[in-house]
Chains A and B, each alone.
Chain A
Amino acid sequence: MVHGALWTIRDLFVLPNEYVYWTIMIVMYPFMTGLVAGAFVLSSLYHVFGVKQLRDIARFALVFSFALLPGALVPLMLHLQHPLRGINVMMTPHFTSAIAAFGVVFSTYAAIVAGEIWFVYRRHFVEESLALRGSHKGLRKRTRYTVFTVLTLGAFDLSERSLDTDRKATKVLAAIGIPVALFLHGYAGFIFGSVKANALWMTPLMPVIFIVSAVVSGIAFVMLTYIVVMEFRKLLARRRRRKVAAAESREQLAGAEVAVIRITAKYLIAFLLLAMGLELLDLVFRRYTAVKSWEVLRSAVYGHEFKQVFVMQYGIGALLPLILLLLPRLSIKRAALCVTLVLFGIFMMRWNVVIGGQSFSLTLAGYMQYVLPIVPTSYETAKEGLVGAIAVLLFPFVLFAILVRICPVFSPPGEGRELAG
């Protein structure tokens, strides 16, 4: 069976070798790296630009950004026909190809985020290491001791000067990290935008659109997770009747949330408008210039793909949340709804680029329909279908749950402030 034949329905005049080769996994990859980039930029807004209200969310965003990284690798591994040869991208990179940038950019970004996390959490590592020293009770404690000691990299100095150095280093890394995070996602846009063979993909706007929509999705994602986590914490506090410190009654917790959400929402609106503007600009130009590919693009976008493009992406995924966000007195619930819709819209944007670009034939006289494999009937339909997509979505959360044991993002109230950054 030719790869791609399983989930492609061809219509009219299509070349024999044309199938939908880039499937849900290729949609997921830029979506995940977009979340990574966006989360990191949000975190850096605090570290570099000192937007104080973002302090709580910044630490959370940083750690989650790191948890998302391996999650971005999974769709690629599931897509490659020879996943074990994936390392070749780092061994013999061919830099005339945008994909080759992956090896370098990904590792650089991972190093920066890891470094920044190290500086933010060094004090925590040292304190844990010292606390566990000498206690040889139980495998779990010994493992934790080993892990934390290794993580200190031998830097046990907790003087004020030392911690100050940590803060400076964090700031530097956050600043360097912003362009790298943007590049991590921008190059994905370049991957598509530079393919001259594909009439939909080829546009210089593609990297820009990708970066802007990545920031949108990152902000929206962090907002959503922040809301979910804060609600969960409130629920816990209520259940256990825990006495919270005087500085943070439940009401004040809620208050702090809304302020953070409203500030972040303003950034979200700005970037969302920019993203929508760029995409509409692309569409308007194509219609105006009406080159040879316009006929088939038009009938694809306004025909087969109308629901995905105008109803799901532009309508439900952009216009609706935009309006809801602009209405006064933004509540937590409304914000949660809006960011979910925005995330959906950004996902549909990736879908419409990847799948949309393969919805018409190179002949410009035929169409291809992608049928997402839902119930897996084989290894291929499992890994490149809904099952694989869900696995990709869940993986970062699993990693995050593990990471949080080493790099806690929710310290008990009153303590957390002392962590660097």
Chain B
Amino acid sequence: MSGHVWRPLLVVLVLVGLLFVFRHYYVPDDFGVHAGGYSYGWYRQSAIQDWRWLPIRYQGRQTCVKCHADEATDLQGMPHVVIQCENCHGPANKHPKDPKKLTIDRTRELCLRCHAKLAYPSSARGGLRGIDAATHHPGEECVSCHNPHKPLLPTPAASDVNVRHDNQYCRPCHLDQVDVVTGMPHQIIYCESCHGYAGNHPTDPAKLTIDKSRTLCLTCHKNMAEHNVGRVCTTCHDPHKSSLQFLRFQP
């Protein structure tokens, strides 16, 4: 067989040789078979380190409470104590160095994640209290009434300078009213919102206001402006037992 028949093969072998030389420089030295065998362990060993030392962004509540003790106290005993601070406020990263401030998200969408009522049997979601977003104060920020750290009582409106005490302050003497309100829609309203600043009551003032004007009720129940105009709301509606089923008398 004349020699020339092997020349193409020689060319191929030279090319393959060059390929191996290139490979020597191109492929990282720690690339090979590691734990897991060739099937599952064929990789560059240092890739593990690439993943190992990424920055940790979410620090966890124990980091937050070191400085934000007030909010931590507020949340004690509240349903929202199970929620990580960073879920709503975003990852702490190296706060307070960087970022200096975290987000305070006041949108309805944040609250609706849990509190859009979905009456699902066989899911914990069904047991979560919630609202129909379309009908419950649409367009309003949830936090204008509800304090996310103390969700069982509302945040007093900024202009509501009367409110200094929460309702437990009133309960020892006015047990009946406070207990009756509990479980009713109006439980979220501070006593002082309607009855004024308690001050040193009963020493001073001896009595707090009982404001029966329509204006007070219409502050929230704006859609009732045309309803029984001229009549005082408390004629039919007990403000402590505020559910419709507890009208003083049937019309």
State if A and B touch, Cβ cutoff 8 Å: yes
Task: Mark A residues whose CB is within 8 Å of B.
Answer: 87, 90-92, 94, 96, 111, 114-115, 118-119, 122, 153-155, 157, 161-162, 165-166, 169
Are B42 and A153 closer than 8 Å at their CB atoms? no
B residues near A90, Cβ cutoff 8 Å: 19
Are B23 and A153 closer than 8 Å at their CB atoms? no
**CB closest chain-B residue, reference A116:** B8
Smallest beta-carbon distance B9→chain A, Å: 7
Are A165 and B1 closer than 8 Å at their CB atoms? yes
Closest CB pairs A-B (n = 7): A155-B4, A115-B8, A153-B7, A111-B12, A94-B42, A91-B27, A118-B8
Are B2 and A165 closer than 8 Å at their CB atoms? yes
Tell me whether B5 is interfacial, beta carbon within 8 Å.
yes
> CA of A111 to CA of B19 in the docked complex: distance in angstroms?
14
Q: Which of A122, A155, A166 has the most CB of B within 10 A?
A: A155
Given A96-B38, A96-B39, A153-B8: A161 touches B2 (CB 8 Å cut-off)? yes
B residues near A169, Cβ cutoff 8 Å: 5
> CA of A153 to CA of B4 in the docked complex: distance in angstroms?
8
What per-residue 1/0 map shows which CB atoms of B4-47 lie under 8 Å from chain A? Answer: 11011101100000010001001100010000001100100000
Given A91-B26, A92-B27: A154 touches B7 (CB 8 Å cut-off)? yes
> CA of A115 to CA of B4 in the docked complex: distance in angstroms?
12
Smallest beta-carbon distance A410→chain B, Å: 24
> CA of A111 to CA of B26 in the docked complex: distance in angstroms?
23
Are B23 and A165 closer than 8 Å at their CB atoms? no
> CA of A155 to CA of B2 in the docked complex: distance in angstroms?
10
B residues near A92, Cβ cutoff 8 Å: 27, 31, 42
> CA of A65 to CA of B19 in the docked complex: distance in angstroms?
24
> CA of A265 to CA of B46 in the docked complex: distance in angstroms?
57
A residues near B19, Cβ cutoff 8 Å: 90
Smallest beta-carbon distance B166→chain A, Å: 43
Smallest beta-carbon distance B177→chain A, Å: 51
> CA of A62 to CA of B3 in the docked complex: distance in angstroms?
24
**CB closest chain-A residue, reference B32:** A92
Are B12 and A155 closer than 8 Å at their CB atoms? no
Smallest beta-carbon distance A147→chain B, Å: 15
List B136-163 residues whose CB lies under 8 Å from chain A. none
Are A157 and B7 closer than 8 Å at their CB atoms? no
Smallest beta-carbon distance A152→chain B, Å: 9
> CA of A401 to CA of B206 in the docked complex: distance in angstroms?
106
A residues near B23, Cβ cutoff 8 Å: 91
- Known contacts A115-B12, A154-B7, A157-B4; 15 further A-B pairs (Cβ under 8 A): A91-B23, A91-B27, A92-B42, A94-B38, A96-B39, A111-B8, A111-B12, A119-B8, A153-B4, A153-B8, A154-B4, A155-B4, A155-B7, A161-B2, A169-B5
**CB closest chain-A residue, reference B11:** A153
Smallest beta-carbon distance A71→chain B, Å: 20
A residues near B39, Cβ cutoff 8 Å: 96
Are A114 and B8 closer than 8 Å at their CB atoms? yes
Smallest beta-carbon distance A274→chain B, Å: 34
Smallest beta-carbon distance A328→chain B, Å: 46
> CA of A96 to CA of B5 in the docked complex: distance in angstroms?
35
B residues near A91, Cβ cutoff 8 Å: 23, 26-27
Are A165 and B4 closer than 8 Å at their CB atoms? yes
B residues near A115, Cβ cutoff 8 Å: 8-9, 12
Smallest beta-carbon distance A289→chain B, Å: 30
**CB closest chain-B residue, reference A87:** B26
A residues near B7, Cβ cutoff 8 Å: 153-155
